[in-house]
Structure formats: structure tokens, C-alpha cells
Amino acid sequence: MQLDYDKIDPELLPPLEDFPPLDLTRENIVMMREFLANQPQPPSAVDVQSDKKMVTTPDGEVPVYIYRKSNRPNQPAVLWIHGGGYLFGSAEDERARIIADHCDCTVFSVDYRVAPEHPFPAGPNDCYATLTWIMNEAEALGIDKTRVAIGGASAGSGMAAGVALMNRDRDNFPLCMQLLIYPMIDNLHATESGKIENHPVWKQETSFNAWEMYLDGVPGEDASPYAAAARATDLSGLPRTYLCVGSEDLFRDEDIEYARRLIAHNVPCELAVFPGVYHAAETFVPEAGVSKRLNQSFLTALAHALGND
């Protein structure tokens, strides 16, 4: 199946002329990381405080970047997990800074280990250890542990969904929200949108390659739900959820189905599907009307969940 590019919002088309879909393999992942890391980045649009801590985990230490707008006591917090197909990306994430500024909260952005050098469960273990640290050290960190959310974008929100399941089944720390921005949650892509081969930016072949590296093989239906949340059979007991996805995203149908199943398991869930939007389009054209609506939508939902609206 092929994507009809006429369905893409016209404001989002120009970057696609210069940005072909990613081709990621085990052979080129190191080179592609270097290429992506060397792309010019605009200066941050917000002015927030920043810090960095090393958090002790069962496997060693993980760097955590901390962003906050103010030093007001007992503020809400977000455990933020960056995107990058489980293979690349940076915890020094602009979206983490924007969340800290907009919601006047503390954002803990985890520089988790990535595949293929560190396949599942390395990344989620790093994130869960950070969540445990946040909750156990909440008073010293100046946060209200009854107002902690977890979230991310793309693979970051896929990992957030997995860590939320992990948390429910282990310590069950009280999370006030899981913020899932076009989450990468299904290693099978056995949906109508998942069968389309030519999605912009993040295409089917690349996604299957990324899953193979993250899962260190192709376990299919037997993949852990902590890695691929779509494999979970029981979604009850999870925190209230905000989930958004674009209508022209590879992940569209699996994300919509996940939201439907959350609702069926009595989890409050807000679902937003943005027309004409491909994967991560708002990061390429932030000034587009639909990009502004997407960003405002999740920021409004998050601020409400944190009690800061």
C-alpha cells in the first residue's frame, strides 16, 4: 500500500522535498546518529533553568537532565523520555524545556541507553530507576509526588507507555498522567496505516528495522508489553492518558486502537487525531496551523493533569 501525498496538509509538504524517509539499519545506525546529531539546531524558544544529575540504577548510572521554570516549592513534575526510534535522540530535548516553561513544572529528561548496543529492557530499566528516584527523593527535589506525569514523543512515548505498565505491575507509584505523543507501541504494524510502505520521515521498513534492533530479534506476538505496549492484554489501572497522532502517520491505527482499549479498560483517555499530519511533522514546520494546534492540545491536557491550568 502507498500513501497518497495529497492527504498531507499543504503547510507540511515543503520539508519533505529535502528530508527523505530515514533508512536505518544495524550497519548504518552509528553513522546516522552522527549525521542527525550534527544537524543545526535553532536556539531554545524558552528560558528555563537546567541541571544534570547522575541517577544510580541497578546497571550503573544514567544521566538525567532537569528543567524547571521556577524554584517554587512542591511543584508538579514530568518524567520525560525522548524519541528517536529507540536508537538515537537526546535527553537535551527542546520539548522538555517547553513543557517546563508552559506548565511551570520540573521536567526530568532521561538519557537512557539505546539499541542496538543496549536492547530492551535497558532503556525502560533506566527510566523506571529514574521514576523510582523521583518518587523516593520528591521532597529533596522540591516536587509533589502526587502530581507526577510520564510522557514522551514517538519512541519516547512508546517507552513511556511501557514504563507505565511496568510501574503498575511493580511499585505502582501514583502517576497523574501518561502523555503519549504519536507513540511507537506496536512491533507488528498489522493495521491499515501500518501496511503503508512509503510514509514520510518514518517509513514501514525503517520501523521494522528499529523494532528488530530494540527487541534484539523479531519476537512477534511474544514481544514484552513493557517494550511494545500494544502487546499488553490488560490495560486496567493505568493513569489517565492523553494520546495524539497524525492522520498520515504509520502509527495512526495502532495508536487509535490503543486509545480505544484504554477506554474499554476504564482508563480516562483523551484522543486527538490531527488531519494531514505525518510523523513528527510539527517539529519540521512548527509555524503551521495544525502544528500549533497539536502542541497546544497536549500542553493544555498536561497542564490540567498537573493541576496548573
pLDDT tens digits along 187-228? 999 999 999 999 999 999 999 999 999 999 999 999 999 999
Length of the chain: 309
Distances (CA, A) of 307 to 131, 187, 206: 20, 34, 39
Q: What is the pLDDT of residue 36?
A: 86
Rounded to whole angstroms, how far apart are CA atoms 152 and 160? 6
Report which of 190, 188, 186, 174 is spatially closest to residue 76, judged by C-alpha positions. 174
For the segment 61-79, the average pLDDT, to the nearest whole number, is: 97
Q: Using the 8-state DSSP alphabet, how is residue 162 labeled?
A: H
What pLDDT digit, counting tens, does each position of 131-158 carry? 999 999 999 999 999 999 999 999 999 9
Sheet strands (E) in 101-201: 106-110, 143-153, 177-181
Peptide bond into 121 cis (omega under 30): yes
Terminal-residue alpha carbon distance, the chain: 43
Q: Which CATH superfamily is domain 5-38+49-305 in?
A: Alpha/Beta hydrolase fold, catalytic domain (3.40.50.1820)
pLDDT, averaged across the chain: 96
Instruction: Give the global pTM.
Output: 0.97
Sheet strands (E) in the chain: 49-57, 60-68, 75-81, 106-110, 143-153, 177-181, 241-246, 269-274
Q: Using the 8-state DSSP alphabet, how is residue 248 labeled?
A: T
Within the chain, how many helices (H) and strands (E) appear?
9, 8
Rounded to whole angstroms, how far apart are CA atoms 186 and 207? 10
Peptide bond into 268 cis (omega under 30): no
